[in-house]
Amino acid sequence: MVSDSESAPQIGQMVRITKGRDAEKLGVIVSILDDRFVLVADGDKRKFDRAKRKNLIHLELLDFISLEVARSILETGRVTNGKLRYAVAKFSDEKVIALKKGDHIDG
């Protein structure tokens, strides 16, 4: 759940969905609609062209922003599904590697 003390969502930021059919899945914020809703895509099941509108209270904002995704959206207004899949996979891989090393990851 997002509280007022947490930072505002950013384009390219990784999120974990906490409610709904896609609960516990990872996604990337591809658009910010207003102060309450964002569009989330993962490049696999949820493509960029069919991004899911999600309420921020149903998302856990993670401390990882894909600079490639953010740069692509800011420059062209679009991002490839391959870049979205890569961002999700890179985040998942880094999390697994950190856990193997014995580090603690919040979230």
Instruction: Quote the tokens at residue 31.
Output: 């658009």
Q: What is the mean pLDDT of residues 13-35?
A: 94
Please answer whether residues 61 and 15 qualify as being in contact, where contact means their C-beta atoms are separated by less than 8 angstroms. yes
Kindly tell me if the per-residue pLDDT of 34 is higher than 90: yes
Q: Report pLDDT digits (tens) over 49-104.
A: 999 999 999 999 999 999 999 999 999 999 999 999 999 999 988 777 676 666 55
Residue 85: CB atoms within 10 Å: 16
Q: What's the confidence (pLDDT) of residue 102?
A: 61
Average pLDDT in the 21-49 region?
95
